[in-house]
């Protein structure tokens, strides 16, 4: 039972991170195109952070579910690889 609750919580957090990332994308696009003035969204920092956190959550979720579905292991590796690339961009201050 504990594993099912943990998987459900991880799934919920993953989908919430996706929704939050979509909201940040919309706010960033609105700010960058001068449609709405939103402090803090004048650069891509928040977008990069949300993508990084989302990729880590999705990679973790795929890793946990790879016990049940072995093909998810490659999705987990891809998500962690993209998260590592995103982290390099964050640490290099490319935003």
Lowest model confidence (mean pLDDT) among 11-20, 40-49, 54-63 = 40-49
The reported pLDDT for the residue numbered 3 is 66
Query: For the chain, how many structural domains are there in total?
Result: 1
Q: Which of 94, 10, 82 is nearest to 51 (CA)?
A: 82
List pLDDT tens digits, range 82-91: 999 999 999 9
Percentage with pLDDT > 90 across the chain: 74
Q: Is 28 exposed, middle or buried (CB count within 10 Å of its CB: 0-12, 13-18, 19+)?
A: buried
**Domain extent at residue 25:** 2-91
Mean pLDDT for 31-40 is 90
């Amino acid at each position: 039972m504990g594993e099912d609750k943990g998987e459900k919580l991880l799934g919920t957090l993953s989908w919430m991170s996706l929704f939050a990332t979509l909201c940040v994308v919309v706010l960033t696009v609105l700010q960058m195109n001068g449609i709405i003035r939103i402090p803090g969204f004048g650069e891509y920092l928040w977008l990069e952070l949300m993508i990084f956190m989302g990729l880590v959550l999705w990679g973790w979720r795929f890793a946990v579910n790879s016990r049940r579905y072995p093909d998810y292991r490659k999705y987990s590796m891809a998500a962690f690889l993209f998260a590592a690339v995103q982290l390099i961009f964050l640490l290099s201050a490319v935003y």
